[in-house]
Amino acid sequence: MTYALALIALLLIIAVASVYLRRRAARVPASEVPLAGVVPVPGEPARGPPLPVVLVHGLFGFDRIGTIHYFRGIARHLQSLGCQAHAVRLPRAASVPARAARLVELIDKLGHPRVDLIAHSLGGLDARYALAKLGLATRVRTLVTIGTPHHGTPLAAIGEDGALSAVRALMRLFGIRALDWLSPAALARFNAEIPNAAGVRYACVIGGIRSDLTGVPLALSPVHHYLRRVAGANDGLVPIASQVWGEVLAEIEADHFAQVGWRFTARSSFDATALYAWIIARLGDLAPVAAAS
């Protein structure tokens, strides 16, 4: 029963978020104040102009729908700071290899000799696959992942077997295959088969709700409490411990939606535009290195 309720909660989250994001007009925050709720790892000042950056969305994401952007206000803010920022659109719920192949196609079309990648959630796995398997490493200096389940999320293991396996089979029938790549078991296989690419720097921002004073969006609340019980602190969809891959640039007090600029609770003061601007400032210091596990 617990697993069934958790699965239902996950599906409700997807539905509620999709409707909300489609209907709510985007308002672009322009704040450049110091990051709220962020514990950065100190680094040297940036050197030289930033490379173009490609923003890679997560599961059920998009680049933009009308005036609504998945990375809410972020690309425009980065553009205002002199950084070419491109949000790409991948198949929303396809497998990681399918999404990764599309990512390579879109980056090729942009025509930049070299870019930095900032990927949210599932997008981080797509990018890692493209770098390791599809030759994208020659075009990328740095990959920064935010809220990516590098070691899986227990939510994706729900329905892998047992009574709810029929639900998963139905989801695959409708083209929802991404969940098959997100369980802890699937990510253990993924990490064994997808090495870091030589010459690319891997870094991450890990986010979640640690403080009782931080509001939890209503849509994420049931799953947040479930994950806290089975996997510890989390962002409402991904355990914090699962998000670590490469260098940890910062630890943020932000739920999964707030990480891309969508604040669904008045108790959240997190400024995503400031986070991404800070990441861009750091990217010049993250010189390429040899492959490392």
Q: What is the CATH number of the domain that holds 148?
A: 3.40.50.1820
Model confidence pTM above 0.85: no
d(CA 185, CA 134): 23
Q: Does any domain span residue 185?
A: yes
Q: Does any domain span residue 291?
A: no
pLDDT at position 15 is 45
- DSSP designation for 234: B
Q: Does any domain span residue 173?
A: yes
Q: How confident is the model over 256-278, as pLDDT tens digits?
A: 999 999 988 766 679 999 999 99
Write out the residue range of the structural domain in which residue 267 sits. 2-283
What total of structural domains would you count in the chain? Answer: 1
What mean pLDDT, rounded, does the chain reach? 82
Q: Does any domain span residue 70?
A: yes
- At 215 the three-state DSSP class reads coil
Q: Does any domain span residue 292?
A: no
For residue 267, the tally of other CB atoms under 10 A from its CB is: 10
Task: Choose among 258, 264, 254: nearest CA to 211.
Answer: 254
d(CA 194, CA 128): 7
- At 182 the three-state DSSP class reads coil
Say yes or no to pLDDT of 155 above 50: yes
Q: How confident is the model over 50-89, as pLDDT tens digits?
A: 899 999 999 988 777 777 899 999 999 999 999 999 999 9
At residue 127 the predicted structure's pLDDT band, cuts being 50, 70 and 90, is: very high
d(CA 209, CA 58): 19
- DSSP designation for 9: H
More confident residue, 158 or 192: 192
Q: Does any domain span residue 132?
A: yes
Q: Does any domain span residue 288?
A: no
Q: What is the four-CA torsion angle of 21, 25, 31, 37, rounded to 10 degrees?
A: -30
Helix, strand, coil content of the chain in percent (nearest 5) = 40, 15, 45
Q: What is the CA radius of gyration of the chain?
A: 18
List, as one string, the DSSP characters of 249-267: EEEEE--TTGGGT---STT
For residue 84, the tally of other CB atoms under 10 A from its CB is: 16
Q: Does any domain span residue 143?
A: yes
Q: Are 121 and 256 in contact (CB under 8 A)?
A: yes
